[in-house]
């Protein structure tokens, strides 16, 4: 019986590996000079998997979530995490809506898929810094978003057929607030849509 269990587990593991993809981190071009940096000042960036076949001219951007920090101490506590720095996650596993498996992700599996790392704690919206007690804090989310879009335009997104901006939680809110600007930067793309997952927040 244990052999059967081992076989089932191995098959499940093989299926999981086949349905996901490990993608390396890409720093945005000239990140430091453009101040497109994480909260700790490290270069911001994204994870990019190129499209293929009939998906080569389609683009799916996904903005990572991760909440906000609301005190100086809270922000400092996140400098040693991937939500405050780019130093801690050299690879990202693509699954679900970013999966390369056509059975799991039939609509987007062969699109250009981009996971934008969230490390500014300002929903990709800020452009300021705080230099008080402790390490300096950079809140450059707006610059990060613009720099990522610039990078992707250089890769061909501006002449694509379809482009979707999506995100979850803090990234979902950013999707809502950046949607019009994102669309305005892609005048030659056939269809531009935005999809926010959990981007509304209510005070309890």
How confident is the model over 94-105, as pLDDT tens digits?
999 999 999 999
Question: Is residue 101 situated within a structural domain?
Answer: yes
- Residue 167: the pLDDT is 97
**C-alpha span between 46 and 65 (Å, rounded):** 13
Q: Looking at the predicted structure, is the pLDDT value of residue 6 above 50?
A: no
Burial of 130 (0-12, 13-18, 19+ CB in 10 A): middle
Is the confidence at residue 118, as pLDDT, over 80? yes
Does residue 37 form part of some domain? yes
Q: Indicate whether 57 belongs to any domain.
A: yes
The answer, yes or no, to whether residue 152 has pLDDT greater than 70, is: yes
Please provide the DSSP assignment of 132-166 as one string: SSSS-EEE-HHHHHHHHHHHHHHTTGGG-SEEEEE
- Residue 29 included in any domain: yes
Give the pLDDT of residue 5: 40
The reply to whether 13 falls in a domain is no
pLDDT given at position 19: 54
Look at residues 117, 126, 118, 136 and name the one whose alpha carbon lies nearest to residue 67. 118
Distance of alpha carbon 104 from alpha carbon 183, whole angstroms? 28
Q: How many domains, in total, are found in the chain?
A: 1
State what percent of residues in the chain have pLDDT above 90: 82
Instruction: Supply the pLDDT for residue 8.
Output: 37
Per-residue pLDDT at 129? 95
Task: Report residue 15's pLDDT band, with 50, 70 and 90 as the boundaries.
Answer: very low
Domain limits at 37? 21-197
Give the start-end residues of each E strand in the chain: 21-27, 45-49, 58-63, 91-94, 112-116, 128-130, 137-139, 162-168, 191-197
Is 126 inside a domain boundary? yes
State the average pLDDT over residues 76-99.
Answer: 93
How far does CA 133 lie from the centroid of its chain?
A: 30
Cα(170)–Cα(177) distance, rounded to whole angstroms?
Answer: 11
Q: Tell me if 113 is assigned to some domain.
A: yes
- What is the Cα–Cα distance from 123 to 173, expressed in whole angstroms? 7
Mean pLDDT, to the nearest integer, of 36-62? 97
* Residue 12 belongs to a domain: no
Looking at every residue in the chain, the average pLDDT score rounds to 90
3-state secondary structure of 27: strand
Q: How confident is the model at residue 132 (pLDDT cuts 50, 70, 90)?
A: confident
Residue 110, Ramachandran bin (φ over 0: left; ψ between -120 and 50: alpha; else beta):
alpha
- Pairing mode, strands 45-49 and 21-27: antiparallel
> What's the pLDDT at 20?
66
């Amino acid at each position: 019986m244990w052999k059967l269990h081992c076989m089932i587990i191995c098959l499940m593991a093989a299926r999981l590996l086949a349905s996901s993809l490990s993608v390396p981190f890409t720093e945005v071009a000239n990140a430091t000079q453009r101040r497109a940096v994480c909260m700790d000042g490290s270069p911001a960036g994204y994870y990019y998997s190129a499209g293929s076949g009939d998906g080569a001219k389609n683009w799916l951007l996904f903005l990572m979530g991760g909440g906000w920090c609301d005190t100086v101490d809270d922000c400092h506590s996140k400098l040693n995490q991937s939500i405050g720095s780019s130093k801690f996650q050299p690879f990202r596993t693509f699954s679900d809506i970013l999966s390369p498996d056509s059975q799991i992700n039939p609509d987007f599996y062969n699109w250009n898929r981009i996971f934008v790392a969230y490390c500014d704690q300002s929903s990709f919206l800020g452009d300021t810094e705080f230099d008080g007690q402790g390490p300096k804090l950079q809140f450059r989310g707006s610059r990060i978003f613009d720099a990522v879009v610039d990078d992707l335009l250089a890769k061909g997104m501006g002449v694509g057929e379809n482009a979707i901006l999506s995100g979850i939680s803090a990234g979902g809110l950013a999707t809502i607030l950046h949607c019009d600007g994102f669309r305005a930067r892609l005048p030659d793309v056939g269809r531009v849509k935005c999809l926010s997952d959990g981007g509304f927040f209510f005070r309890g």
